[in-house]
């Protein structure tokens, strides 16, 4: 596609439920990143994929958060047993290689009630 | 991680040039300067990046001082659609995988 796409654009869930957020990177981009942005705050790095492997998971805030990538393309970020503090915009970015320019998707706005 | 310093906010009249400064006095030789912006409720948008030479593209110009300790992003003819938070990011060629977004400069273009 022309750019990074993410779905859903908005997600409202109840505390304790699991959610899955999807990212479709730019075709051919081997590197993929997930970030989180809480209301009025800066971006927090969550995880980095090179191909289907995640050599850097240092930003995942707890074991409730996991992510996978398949076919060196689509990635899914899963949050289990959601908490209210998980409410944020989750942003995905991709780049040609690890040091390439990162291009961001529009984000998924997650609200945990 | 905070390797850059930017003013919290700036105003610019529509049609005039917007000059956004950034200090990165501890930048090292292998670190690039990147600029992104984030318009309300959207994902960050890449603008431009450079190492030591000045750069220009269809969106903006990037002027990096000779000692590389500061830079200026120039939007030559600001429009209302340029109202956004602008982030100056120093990124090494090796090491960290992620981009560190500080607090940025909130640019308001005034009609």
**Looking at residue A45, what is its pLDDT?**
93
**Looking at residue B2, what is its pLDDT?**
54
For the record, the structure tokens of A92 come out as 């995905």
For residue A94, what is the nearest residue in chain B, using CA coordinates?
B98
User: B52-63 burial, b for 16+ CB within 10 Å, e for fewer?
Assistant: eeebeeeebbbb
For the record, the structure tokens of A47 come out as 């995880």
Tell me if B32 sits within 8 A of B96, measured CB to CB: no
What's the whole-number mean pLDDT along residues B90-104?
80
- From A6's Cα to the closest Cα of chain B, the distance in A is 11
Task: Check pLDDT > 80 for residue A1.
Answer: no
What's the whole-number mean pLDDT along residues A81-108?
94
Tell me if A15 sits within 8 A of A83, measured CB to CB: yes
Task: Check pLDDT > 80 for residue B1.
Answer: no
Mean residue pLDDT across chain B: 92
Band (pLDDT 50/70/90 cuts) for residue B89 is: very high
- From B41's Cα to the closest Cα of chain A, the distance in A is 8
Task: Check pLDDT > 80 for residue B95.
Answer: no
Task: Check pLDDT > 90 for residue A98.
Answer: no
Residue of B59, B85, B99 to mutate, interface with A, max A Cβ within 10 Å: B99
Band (pLDDT 50/70/90 cuts) for residue B93 is: confident
Band (pLDDT 50/70/90 cuts) for residue B13 is: very high
Nearest to B99 among A55, A102, A107 (CB): A102
Task: Check pLDDT > 60 for residue A73.
Answer: yes
Tell me if B72 sits within 8 A of B55, measured CB to CB: no
Nearest to B101 among A4, A43, A56 (CB): A43
Q: pLDDT tens digit string along B30-71?
A: 899 999 999 988 999 999 999 998 999 999 999 999 999 999
Q: pLDDT tens digit string along A54-64?
A: 999 999 999 99
CB contact under 8 A, A55 and B101: no
Tell me if B73 sits within 8 A of B86, measured CB to CB: yes
Mean residue pLDDT across chain A: 94
**Looking at residue A70, what is its pLDDT?**
94
For residue B102, what is the nearest residue in chain A, using CA coordinates?
A42
DSSP 8-state code for residue B81: G
**Looking at residue B101, what is its pLDDT?**
86
Task: Check pLDDT > 70 for residue B96.
Answer: no
Nearest to B98 among A45, A103, A104 (CB): A45
User: B67-84 burial, b for 16+ CB within 10 Å, e for fewer?
Assistant: ebebbbbbbeebeeebbb
What's the whole-number mean pLDDT along residues A3-20?
97
């Amino acid at each position: 596609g022309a750019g990074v796409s993410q779905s859903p654009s908005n997600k409202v869930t109840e505390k304790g439920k699991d959610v899955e957020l999807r990212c479709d990177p730019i075709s051919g981009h081997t590197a993929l990143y997930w970030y989180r942005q809480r209301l009025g705050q800066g971006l927090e790095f969550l995880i980095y994929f090179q191909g289907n492997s995640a050599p850097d998971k240092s930003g995942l805030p707890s074991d409730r958060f996991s992510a996978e990538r398949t076919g060196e393309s689509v990635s899914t970020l899963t949050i289990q047993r959601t908490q209210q503090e998980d409410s944020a915009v989750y942003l995905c970015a991709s780049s040609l290689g690890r040091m390439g320019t990162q291009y961001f998707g529009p984000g998924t706005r997650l609200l945990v009630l | 991680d905070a390797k850059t310093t930017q003013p919290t906010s700036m105003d610019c009249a529509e049609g005039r040039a917007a000059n956004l400064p950034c200090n990165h006095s501890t930048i090292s030789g292998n670190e690039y300067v990147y600029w992104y912006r984030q318009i309300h409720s959207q994902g960050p948008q890449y603008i431009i990046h450079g190492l030591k030479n000045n750069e220009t593209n269809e969106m903006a110009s990037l002027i990096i001082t000779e000692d590389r300790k500061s830079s200026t992003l120039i939007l030559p003819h600001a429009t209302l659609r340029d109202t956004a938070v602008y982030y100056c990011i120093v990124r090494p060629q090796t090491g960290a995988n992620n981009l560190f977004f500080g607090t940025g400069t909130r640019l308001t273009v005034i009609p």
